[in-house]
Amino acid sequence: MPTPSTDLLDGLRVLDLTTTFMGPYCTMQLARLGAEVIKVEEPSGDLTRGILDHDGLGLGPIFLSANHGKRSLAVDLKDPRGRDLLLELAATADVFVTNLRPQAVARLGLAPERIVETNPRCVVASLVGFGPGGSYDGLAAYDDVIQAVSGMAAVQGGGGEPAYVRSAIADKTVGLVAANSILAALLARERTGLGRIVTVPMFEAMVAFNLLDHQGGHTYDPPRGETGYPRLMSPFRHPYATSDGHLGVVVYTDRMWLSFFDLIGRPELAEEPRFRTITGRTQHIDELYQLVEGELTKHPSAYWIEALRAADIPVIEVRTLGDLLDDPHLREVGFFEPVDHPVAGPLRLAPYPATFSPTHPVALPPAPLLGQHTREVAQETSLSPTDVQTLLDEGVLVETIGAVR
C-alpha cells in the first residue's frame, strides 16, 4: 500500500515561503517524507485557502491537500521586524523555498544570496517562471502561461486551436522537479558541508518535459525530420468507444500488433511492410489507430477486456474523477489516508504514493489554519514572549485563536 508519510527526512527543517500550487506541492512532498515544514504566509493567507472554501474557514480542498503536515506562520514581511524574524528562522533551516518573483524577494531583503550568507548550510530553492538572463526573465508566470509558451497548449491542440491540459500540469511537474533538485542539493551538502542556491525555472523545466518525446527529428543537428511524436499526436489516439462504454487500449509492440491482428481476424496485416516494424507503424499510426477505433465499436467493453487481456494487450476501463474515490484497486491497497481535521472535519487525502522498505510511517498533523502556529514558531527564536505578544498586537504577526478544538 502507499506510504501516507514516512520519517526519512526526520530532523530536516524547511522554511516554505511559497503560495498557490507549485511551491506548496513541492514542499508537501518534503513534509510527506518527514521534514518539518513551516509555511510562511502573509497576514491574508495563501490564495488557495479560498478556492472552493464553501465554509469560509480558509480550508479549501486544494489547500488541505497541498499543505498537509505543515505549520503556519503568518507574518508581515514588509515590516522589518517580520523580515528579521524570518532571517533568524532561516539561520536554523536546512531548506528555504520560495516561488515569489525574484524582484519581490529582493525587495523584502530575502534574496537567496542573503539567506546563504545567513546560513551557509542552507539549500535555497528559488522557483521562478523563467531562467535569469533571458528575454522572459522577470515576467509573471502561472500554469496557463507556461502551458502556452512551453509548447504544451499547441501539442494539446493537435494542430488546431491550442488547448490547455485540464490539470495544473506545469505547476505540479515543476514542483516535483524542485523537490528532486532540493534532495540532490541536500545530498551534496552531506559531502561538502555547504548548501547552495537552486534555481528551478518553470519554462525551461516544461520545455525539457515536452521535448523528451516531441523534439523528434530536431533532436539531430541538422534536423532529420519534423518535431512531434506521431503516435502521441495522432487524432485517433484517445479512449476508444465500445458498443456500451469507453476503454483505454494500447497496442504497441510487435507482439501486441500480431495478437491484435489475429484477434480481429486480419492476420494478413502483419505481413504488410508498413506494419512490420515500429518505425513503419509510427509512420502509419493514424491508419492503425483508426482500425482499432472501428473494431472496438463492434463489441461491448466486457468482451474486449476479456479478449485483450487474454492476448496480453493493455486495456482498462475509463474512470472519472468521481469513480476514483471508490475505485476497487485503490480501496484494496488502502490508498486514501483518512484524516480527522479539527476544524474541517473528516477528510480523505491522497498519500505519498511511493513505498519504502523498511520505513517508519508517521502521522502528520492536518493542514493548518492561518497563523495557527505563529506564536509557537516565533517563540522558537530569540524573541521573548513579551516581544512576540507585541508583534501580535501590532499586526506584524497573526495567529488563529480559539478555532482549533
Q: What is the pLDDT of residue 267?
A: 96
- The CA distance from 330 to 55, in Å, is 29
Asked if residue 278 belongs to a domain, the reply is yes
Asked if residue 232 belongs to a domain, the reply is no
195 in the same domain as 141: yes
User: Distances from the Cα of 297 to the Cαs of 243, 247, 261, in angstroms?
Assistant: 5, 10, 16
* C-alpha torsion 144→150→154→157, nearest 10: -50
Look at residues 294, 317, 340 and tell me which one is the last residue of a structural domain: 317
Asked if residue 404 belongs to a domain, the reply is no
Q: What is the pLDDT of residue 4?
A: 79
pLDDT tens over the chain, length 405 residues: 677 789 999 999 999 999 999 999 999 999 999 999 999 999 999 999 999 999 999 999 999 999 999 999 999 999 999 999 999 999 999 999 999 999 999 999 999 999 999 999 999 999 999 999 999 999 999 999 999 999 999 999 998 999 999 999 999 999 999 999 999 999 999 999 999 999 999 999 999 999 999 999 999 999 999 999 999 999 999 999 999 999 999 999 999 999 999 999 999 999 999 999 999 999 999 999 999 999 999 999 999 999 999 999 999 999 999 999 999 999 999 999 999 999 999 999 999 999 999 888 899 999 999 999 999 999 999 999 999 999 999 999 999 865 444
Asked if residue 121 belongs to a domain, the reply is yes
Name the residue with cell 483508426.
Answer: 290
101 in the same domain as 45: yes
352 in the same domain as 310: no
Q: Are 102 and 174 in contact (CB under 8 A)?
A: no
**Strand order through the sheet with 246-249:** 240-241, 246-249, 315-317
Whose CA is closest to 367, among 87, 93, 57?
A: 57
347 in the same domain as 311: no
104 in the same domain as 39: yes
271 in the same domain as 170: no
Asked if residue 355 belongs to a domain, the reply is yes
257 in the same domain as 202: no
Asked if residue 324 belongs to a domain, the reply is no
373 in the same domain as 259: no
354 in the same domain as 254: no
364 in the same domain as 292: no
91 in the same domain as 168: yes
Type of residue found at 296: L
- Structural domain tally of the chain? 2
Q: Which domain holds residue 197?
A: 13-210+331-398
Asked if residue 30 belongs to a domain, the reply is yes
**66: Cα separation from own chain's centroid:** 9
Look at residues 293, 317, 341 and tell me which one is the last residue of a structural domain: 317
For residue 15, the cross-strand partners are 38, 96
| DSSP letter assigned to residue 284 | T
Q: For the domain that residue 265 is a member of, what is the CATH number?
A: 3.30.1540.10
Q: What is the pLDDT of residue 1?
A: 60
Look at residues 268, 287, 317 and tell me which one is the last residue of a structural domain: 317
347 in the same domain as 300: no
Asked if residue 281 belongs to a domain, the reply is yes
Q: For the domain that residue 53 is a member of, what is the CATH number?
A: 3.40.50.10540
Q: Are 381 and 88 in contact (CB under 8 A)?
A: yes
